[in-house]
Chains A and B, each alone.
Chain A
Amino acid sequence: MTPTTGRDDAVVQAVGLVKRFGSIRALDGLTLGVQRGEKYGLLGPNGSGKTTLIRSIVGLVAPDEGEVRVLGEKVPSPLTSSRIGYMTQSAALYEDLTVRENLFFFARLFGTPGQTADRVEEVLRLVHLTDRSGTPVRALSGGLRQRASLAAALIHEPELLLLDEPTVGVDPELRLVLWDHFDRLNALGKTIIVSTHVMEEAERCGRIALLRAGRLLAEGSPLELKQGAGAASMEAAYLHYASQADGGDGGRRSSMTDEGRRSSRTDGARRSSRTPPKGGAADEG
């Protein structure tokens, strides 16, 4: 094992995660690390393991192998759950309650810093929902719903935000609004892990993990990934790494994935996002 350095800066450390659902391996030896203040994207198609990875970071999935540490604590831990804000794939709010009532409910569950009422208003302002706060959730459009959901994830001022496909089903304009919110939260110092299957969206992240079939294809900044693949678009880059992984099919598990796993861990720990993308580099080298 390579010793990890700069542990205090690692917000999430996932090591060798394997999760099986029946005969399907939702996570297949996944290792990655996310540093404090990062905006980290999980990019991959449906079934690539994004949701399972996020749920295992939250502590809702117990991996069959490997472990997850959040802020140095092994998951699941009551300490970590109050420091994570989790925005589920669907809005997951109580439809009959108003936005404000939903926020009050989650505020009481988590406990808020300072006065609950103040915090609720603060979060409503943060996602620009103050004027709709008295509306029942069932009457909100998809985009507003997602903002309300984001507000609920923010209510307890978590250090780490986990956003599971937050823009699914949201029209393009509101999508941009949501991403502006994410950028702002990131600028406020929150570490954000966001999953998506939209390639352009992923490019708004500082670093991206390309996932497929529960494995890490490659990891790096959008520019690095594209350069490493010699591709003009993120989509082309993804396909490049995917076919590269398929190309060395026999040795794929032993060489490429393991290489990717090891380098991503050490690299993640050193927080050097300037090195070339791991997956590609490993195979090209």
Chain B
Amino acid sequence: MKGESTTRSGGGPSGHGRGMARGRPGSLRRTGAIAVRIITQFRRDPRTIALIFVAPVLVMSLLGYVITEKTTTLTVAVVRSDQGPVSLVPVLERVLEGKGFELSGVRDQDDLVARVREGEFRAGLIVGPGFSADIFSGRGAGSLRLVLEGSDAVLAADISRRFAQALQELPEALAATFLAPGAAPPTPPGQPVVDYVYGGPDLGALSYFAPGYVAFFAFFFTFLLTSVSFLRERASGTMERLLASPVQRSEIVVGYLVGFGVFALGQSLVILLFAVYALGVKLAGSLGTAFVVEASLVAVAVVMGIFFSFYARNELQVIQFIPIVIIPQIVLSGFITPLETMHEPLRWLALAMPMTYANEALRAVIIRGLGLGAVLPELAILGGFIALFTLLAARLIQRRIA
């Protein structure tokens, strides 16, 4: 018999179901017993079932929703210095509005650039004096200047794309307004001049995404490490011993914060230094400021790790937090898609996540080169997260164990 020589594992090339059953009496029964046992165990573990079936759908729909959402209105500053003879600017603006831009007039070019630099507008449009004349005479869109804020590469690319589409549609709109029906529309005017306030096309993709990467890695590892350690403290019974001592619950959380903080800070420094000196990420601001932001984020990761560890019974359940705690933060923090183009409810959700503020602050430091003063609001919010989760975790220690 061929199957007789098949080894016990049944994992040989010929060892699929039928062969196994024939080869060793009872093999199918035993294999089946193991399979049935695993299925029964799964049925007793609703969290894992939820993880397998619900989490991918949740994460994918979040991602899909975030990425396809491009129709939100974006306010763009505009300087109108067109000198005719017949102004085509109203037609241009109508086409731009159709592409989801809302135009807000500003005083002059300097005012526009200054306000984009300060972050009031993500983009500005300067309509040069010769715009209408150029279009009429077929000289193209050279007198249009698009000023992009540029620290968010995804958003900048999105604005450029929508703007190019608008210019493609401009001839038809002009024809509909000025020419007799049936007349051939003029040729599209080509591309405008594009300027970047920060970054720009010569800044590599890595540098653009560096703030997000740096925030993500620091958060991810610190969160998992703290969760597992704190879980062990509970599982091994040492937490019981701590609670029988005069130690205060908040002292436990803050003690963890400091202990893990030392290593998390070291890790943050390694991540930042590696990004800048090994990967060649362009750091426009100071390393010290970036480090302060990073440090605040890992502190949030420590206290969040402690908080969430109370909802896990073992290490596997800590891993289950990845799609629930980590991935939504990556998707919504502005790392992948700019907050500006998100749907309202998602944006509110994003604003409830610490990574959003870390990402924003790191972008300000790394790409825009701003100093500590400019990121103080974000740092204050991260500080608020630290305080909030410290309190929540301390309360849980009381409730879950006592």
Shortest 8 CB-CB contacts between residues of A and residues of B: A92-B237, A86-B244, A109-B245, A90-B237, A58-B244, A88-B237, A92-B241, A92-B238
Interface string of B234-265 (1 = CB under 8 A from A): 00111011111111000000000000000000
Cα A199 to Cα B175 with chains together (Å): 102
Residues of A within 8 A of B (CB): 58-62, 78, 81-82, 84, 86, 88-95, 106, 109-111, 152
The reply to whether A106 and B245 contact each other, CB–CB distance below 8 Å, is yes
- Range of interface residues on B (Cβ < 8 Å): 10 to 19
What would 29 A/B residue contacts be, using CB atoms closer than 8 Å?
A58-B244, A59-B402, A60-B243, A60-B244, A60-B402, A61-B402, A78-B246, A86-B240, A86-B244, A88-B237, A88-B240, A89-B237, A90-B236, A90-B237, A91-B237, A92-B237, A92-B238, A92-B240, A92-B241, A94-B236, A94-B238, A95-B236, A106-B241, A106-B245, A109-B242, A109-B245, A109-B246, A110-B245, A152-B241
Q: Measured between C-beta atoms, what is the minimum distance from B259 to chain A in Å? A: 12
Say yes or no: is B180 at the interface (Cβ < 8 Å to chain A).
no
- Residue of B236, B242, B247, B401 with highest tally of chain A CB at under 10 A: B236
Q: Are A92 and B401 within 8 A (Cβ)?
A: no
Please name 13 further chain A to chain B contacts, defined as beta carbons within 8 Å, in addition to the given A60-B401, A92-B241, A109-B246, sorted by A numbering.
A59-B244, A60-B240, A61-B402, A81-B245, A81-B246, A86-B244, A88-B240, A88-B241, A91-B237, A92-B237, A93-B238, A95-B236, A109-B242
Query: What are the residues of chain B within 8 A of A60 when measuring CB–CB?
Result: 240, 243-244, 401-402
Q: Is the CB of B241 within 8 A of A86?
A: yes
Determine if A92 and B246 form an interchain contact, defined as CB atoms under 8 angstroms apart: no
CA distance A59 to B245 in the complex (A): 10
Q: Taking the nearest CB of chain B, how far is it from the CB of A70, in angstroms?
A: 12
User: B residues near A, CB below 8 A?
Assistant: 236-238, 240-247, 401-402
Within the complex, what minimum Cβ distance (angstroms) separates A179 from chain B? Answer: 22
| Distance of B362 from chain A, by nearest CB (Å) | 34
Q: How many Å from the CB of A125 to the closest CB on chain B?
A: 22
Q: How far is the CB of A92 from chain B (nearest CB, A)?
A: 3
Give bound CA distance, A60 to B247, whole Å. Answer: 13
Complex: chain B residue closest to A85, CB-CB: B244
Nearest CB of B to A253, in Å:
28
